[in-house]
Amino acid sequence: MFRSRALQPTNGLSLSLNQTFEAKKALPDTAAAEAPGEAVGAGATAGAGAGGATGSSAQAEIVQLLGVRTSVIQYDFVEADSVGTFLSGFRTTRLSNEISSHFLQGLQVSVDHDLFEDERRQDGTVDRSFKPHLASVNFSFALGSNSGIFRWLGLGGGEDAQQEEAGEEGEEEAEAGPATGVDEASIIPGVQAARRGPSRQTDADGRGGGGWSANLSYALQRPRGDGASASQMLNGTVTLHPTPHWDVNWRTSFDVQRGAFNDHSIRLTRDLHRWQANFDFLQTATGNWQFRFEVSLMDNRDLKFDYQQRNLDAGRRGDPNRF
C-alpha cells in the first residue's frame, strides 16, 4: 500500500552544528600605553556620573581562525515508528560541511558525504544501512595583488593610495556641485565618460597597471556504487594588468581522471582611448582552435570590426588531401 509522507503527521527533530575558532589580535604598543592613562582621566573628570566606567575605548579585534558550518540534520520519529527501523527516520541523507577563515578570505571548501546506502529487496522494501561515503569536494582559492596575506607581509601597499585617490575624486565632485539642466552630456553618448576619463578601473598600486588576480578551483564527484566512475576537474583563471592599457586573461581546465587539458582560452585587451581591441584565442579538448580579433567603439558596441578564423580539421593533420 502506498503511503504519502506529505499526508501523515510528523514529529521531527532538527540538529545543526557550527564550530568557530577565534583569536584576538594584539593591540599596538601605542594603544596599550595610552589605555591606562585614558581610563584614569575619564574616571577623574566624569566621577560617579560616568557609571564607574574604567575601561579603554581601544579593543582588540577578534578574527576567525577557522569556521566549520555543518548542514542541518532532520529526523522524523513518526516515519521511524511506521517503518520499524531507526535509520528510516533520518530525512537528511547527505551531510555538507563548509570551511572558511578570515586569514584566507579567498578560500572556500565544501565537503559532502552520503550517510546511508539503500538496497531494495525483492519484496519492495528498502534496507538502509549507515555507510558514510565521500560524495563531492569543492575547493576554490583566490589570490590577488591586493589580498590580505600580501598586505600582512608588506607586499601590498596599494590600498592607501587607492583610498586617497577615491577621496580626492569625491572632493572634486562635491566642489563641482550637482548637475542641473540638460546639456550635451545628457544627449550625446560618451561625452560624460570622456570628461571623467577612461572607464578602466585602477589596480591595487593606484597606477592602473601591475595588478593581478588568480583563481584556482577543484571539483570532485564520486557517485556511490562499484560501477560508477569518479570525475575530477581542475580550473584556473589568471588575470594580469601589465600596463595601464593592456589586460591579459587566461583560463584553462584540466581533467585529472584523463590526465589532459580540456580547453584553453586567452584574451588580450588593449585600451585605445575611445576604442577597445580584443584578441581572443580558444582551443578545445579535441584540438580545434579559434582565433578572433575585434575592435569596437566603447560608446557604441554595435559599431565594430570583427574577424574570425577557425580550424575544424585538427584530426586530419596527416592527410595530404586536406586544404
Q: List the chain domain ranges.
A: 12-25+61-143, 211-316
C-alpha–C-alpha distance, residues 76 and 175, integer Å: 65
- What is the pLDDT confidence band of residue 45, given thresholds at 50, 70 and 90? very low
Taking alpha carbons only, the member of 260, 271, 258, 250 closest to residue 208 is 271
Pairing, β 300-311 against β 107-120: unpaired
Strand partners, 218: 139, 234
Lowest mean pLDDT among 46-55, 257-266, 284-293, 296-305: 46-55
What residues form DSSP beta bridges with 214? 143, 238
| Host H or E run for residue 37 | helix 29-46
In this prediction, residue 189 carries a pLDDT of: 42
> What is the structure's pLDDT at 273?
86
| Band (47; pLDDT cuts 50, 70, 90) | very low
d(CA 291, CA 308) in angstroms, rounded, equals 6
Q: Across residues 140-166, what is the average pLDDT?
A: 63
pLDDT number for residue 159: 44
Rg (CA), the chain: 30
Angle at 197 between CA 270 and CA 203, to 5 degrees: 60
Nearest by Cα to 17 from 91, 92, 97, 76: 97
Distance CA 5, CA 28 (A): 60
Band of pLDDT at residue 154, cut at 50, 70 and 90:
low
Which residues are paired to 4 by β-bridges?
Answer: none
Q: Per-residue pLDDT averaged across 59-84, rounded?
A: 86
Instruction: Give me the phi and psi of 293, to 5 degrees please.
Output: -125, 130
Check: CB of residue 260 under 8 Å from CB of residue 253.
no
pLDDT at 250 over 70: yes
Dist CA 249 CA 237 (whole Å): 7
Q: Report the SS3 class of residue 84.
A: coil
Q: Is 279 helix (H, G, I), strand (E, B) or coil?
A: strand
Grid cell of 108 as nine digits: 572556500
| Angstrom distance (rounded) from CA 285 to CA 293 | 22
Q: What are phi and psi of 232, to 5 degrees?
A: -130, 125
* pLDDT band at 94; cut points 50, 70, 90: very high
Q: Three-state SS for 49?
A: helix
